[in-house]
Amino acid sequence: MSLITTPLFNQVLVNPAHECDELCIVSGYASPAFVQTHYYQLKELHTNTNIKINLIIGMIRTEGISNISHNSFVRLVSSLDKKFNCYYVINGAPTHAKVYVWLKQGQPIYAYAGSPNYSANGFYTNREAVSASETVSSYEFYKEILADSVHCTSAPLEKIKFRKEKLEAPTLVDKYKMTDVTEVSLLDSSGEIHTRSGLNWGQRENRNKNEAYIPVNKENRKSDFFPPKGIVFTVITDDQVSFELVRAQDGDKALETPQSNAILGAYFRKRLGLASGAFVTKQDLLNYGRTSVIFKKINDDLYYMDFSRRTT
């Protein structure tokens, strides 16, 4: 069997979706943001967006998982409407294997085994490789590991090693020299509020009035501070809310919440003390005390977002 090294994402995670309806994964480590990246790319590439994904994460009992990631996996199970399940291995030996099995009506059709974890690092950043593997034995291996696993929504917390991410509030000493912190304005290039875009993207007929995106100015677009277009990342905010963001639209000009653009707009309106769906004015931002957000990069798919109220 030939070794597959590129393009791994399309070969392993997208192309089989044209004829299959379910993907079963065993991965030592995994990222909740990558689940969203996968579904986002399936939609962008016009393949089957109704794929059911079953993910087993194998190294949690010994290596642990952050509270942020655990909460994000639980949230994704709920929000993806039964299309996503996540399990943790809690019995038997730790599982470092990476196996991807595609099913059609419950029968294994394609299988791959190799080095990439189910994460952006595994499929985009690192140099990884997989080979096609025997489908039936690969699916049997998945079911064997599943028997030693528990669903993330009902995991016995005493058997899970939780890690705390270091989330220090971002500060801008010199934004032109810093690589892990950047400031993004919520206003347009003239310093005014967007009337039909940005925080007011939904202020049009037949749209959810809460729909919004964070505008990414030209300076931010030129840098590689945020992941490339289509790669989802998790954000934890200063008030301990978490959600996923992705660069989108022509020119990568927007940061959107991929599950629903209304998630982001509802969040900002709540912070500003506005009614759901209200038009956001520049004065609303000034009254709150700021017209921008500050992002701090924690790792490749986790960012801290500060929109704390400024009173001075």
Tens of pLDDT, residue by residue over 61-105, are 889 998 889 999 999 999 888 899 999 999 999 999 999 999 999
Chain centre distance of CA 219: 24
Written as six digits, the tokens of 194 are: 């967007």
Taking residues 241-263, what's their average pLDDT?
A: 90
Confidence of residue 312 (pLDDT cuts 50, 70, 90): low
Q: Which carries the bigger pLDDT value, residue 259 or residue 211? A: 211
Q: How many residues does the chain have?
A: 312
With a CB cutoff of 8 Å and minimum separation 6, the contacts of 71 are: 242
Assigned token pair, 121: 């690092």
d(CA 168, CA 101): 39
Position 176 scores a pLDDT of 45
Q: Across the chain, what does the average pLDDT equal? A: 90
Residue 205 CB coordination number (10 Å): 4
Q: What angle do CA 30, 35, 36 make, to 5 degrees?
A: 140
CA 22 to chain centre: 20
Of 114-128, 211-225, 234-248, the one with minimum mean pLDDT is 211-225
SS3 for 48-99 is: CCCCEEEEEECCHHHHCEEHHHHHHHHHHHHHCCCCEEEEEECCCCCCCCCE
Output the pLDDT for position 201: 96
40 with 128: CB under 8 angstroms? no
174, pLDDT greater than 60: no
pLDDT in tens, 136-154: 999 999 999 999 999 999 9
Instruction: Give the mean pLDDT of 217-231.
Output: 80
pLDDT score for 221:
66
Q: Is the pLDDT of residue 11 over 80?
A: yes
pLDDT for res 109: 98
Q: What is the pTM of this model?
A: 0.85
pLDDT of residue 247: 92
Q: Which domains does the chain have, with CATH numbers?
A: 3-160 (3.30.870.10), 181-306 (2.40.330)
Q: Give me the mean pLDDT over the 249-278 stretch.
A: 93
pLDDT, mean of residues 251-268: 92
Q: Mean pLDDT across the stretch 210-232? A: 85
Mean pLDDT on 154-160: 83
172 vs 216: CA distance, rounded Å? 17
Residue 295: both structure tokens together: 């992002």
For residue 309, what pLDDT band results from cuts at 50, 70 and 90?
A: confident
pLDDT at 94: 93
Reported as a pLDDT band with limits 50, 70 and 90, residue 170 is low
